[in-house]
Amino acid sequence: MSDLPQGLTERELIERLRDRIGRPGEGVVVGIGDDAAVIDEGGPDYLLLTDDAFIDEVHFDLGTWAPRQVGTKAMAATLSDIAAMGGKARTCLVSLMLPRGFETRLLDELYDGLIAAASRYHVSIVGGNVVAGPRLGLCLTATGSVEKAKLCLRSGAEAGHLFAVTGDLGRSEAGRLAASGIVSVDEEAARTARAKHFEPVPRLEEAAALVEAVRVGAMIDISDGLASEVHHIARESNVGARIVAAALPIEEATRTVARAAGVDPVHLALGGGEDFELLLTLSPQVFETALQALAGLGTPVTAIGEVLPREKGVELVGEDGRARPLELAGWDHLTSDR
Ligand SMILES: [Mg+2]
């Protein structure tokens, strides 16, 4: 992955493409650069459009993944971007690249995962495409909708807002470590961590409850790691940020795996990625309301810092109480060798 176009970072590549494509046409409210594109077709809702690709030996490994898990995770990751906009997911197209001789049984299992994850969120799989290729690959394109007034963008954060996250952080990366066999932990911790890595849950119900209950400032889903997503919001909203390490919600299973692996659990939370939780900003006055709105779903929401004026920069208050720049520890798809 590290040898993609002349060492461009993912962000540089996206900006280059955005520049080349130029201004979006009529009806395009948000083009390249948020979690999903936003289209105004004239009705009361916006249309949301997003897609995501998953390649064997890059994003998963059929040597260790059950095909059903690949389907579940691909659907969850794709729908997570609809949740990040405050939207409801509607339909999905699935394009497949199949290697020669790919067993029908494995294809059926892959679709068991796709179909189960889609039906859980009332998403219809409505088509796609099949091509032959060197290994298994999937590209999922999802549509969704959101009431115009409830659209959540990365650019909506205001100084004085809180940063908050749903669920817990770092557990997907802990699950990857637990499944790799390089750490040995008790079975319960390993199972709890692995579940998040192999079968993540898109926060669609939480997003719907949040936009119903409060005015959300900015929102993004955590696919590349908290640190990276905080920087995205700061850049797009033209603000600074202070994230407090001691406030990050990290489950005991994640801490257990981190200890066994000799890594700081805060590092897993900041840079692990693929947690598919929601990172949002909201006024402190409505935080309690948001908490109550998600309590009914059994999902915690935790305040982890605050939005600052831009000139304050983006900082992390460590567990030692000292502030330092929040490093971009996130996962860059084009420059990481992982
Ligand atoms: Mg996203």
- Confidence grade of residue 4 (pLDDT, cut at 50, 70, 90): low
Section 83-100 average pLDDT = 97
**Residues, beta carbon < 5 Å, ion ligand 1:** 35, 81, 221, 223
Specify the pLDDT at position 104: 96
CA 82 / ligand 1 centre spacing (Å):
8
Distance (Å) from CA 154 to ligand 1 centroid: 10
State the distance from the centre of ligand 1 to the C-alpha of 35, rounded, in angstroms: 4
76 has a pLDDT exceeding 90:
yes
pTM (two decimals)? 0.93
pLDDT averaged over the chain? Answer: 93
pLDDT over threshold 90, residue 5: no
Q: Ligand 1 center to residue 191 CA distance, Å?
A: 26
* Distance (Å) from CA 105 to ligand 1 centroid: 31
The pLDDT tens digits of the residues spanning 261-287 come to: 999 999 999 998 899 999 999 999 999
- Angstrom CA distances, 92 to 26, 125, 152, stand at 24, 5, 21
| CA-closest candidate to residue 82, choices 208, 241, 182, 257 | 208
pLDDT at residue 8 tops 90: no
- Measure 22 CA to ligand 1 centroid, in angstroms: 22
At 7 the pLDDT is 79
Distance 222 CA to ligand 1 centre (A): 6
Average pLDDT over residues 36-62: 96
Give the pLDDT band (50/70/90) at residue 33.
Answer: confident
Q: For the sheet containing 219-221, what is the strand order?
A: 219-221, 278-282, 162-166, 301-309, 239-244, 314-317, 323-325
Residue 71: exposure state from Cβ atoms within 10 A (0-12, 13-18, ≥19): buried
pLDDT the model gives residue 85:
97
Answer whether residue 81 shows pLDDT above 50. Answer: yes
Q: What is the pLDDT of residues 197-216, one digit of tens each?
A: 999 999 999 999 999 999 99
Cα distance between residue 234 and residue 310, in whole Å: 8
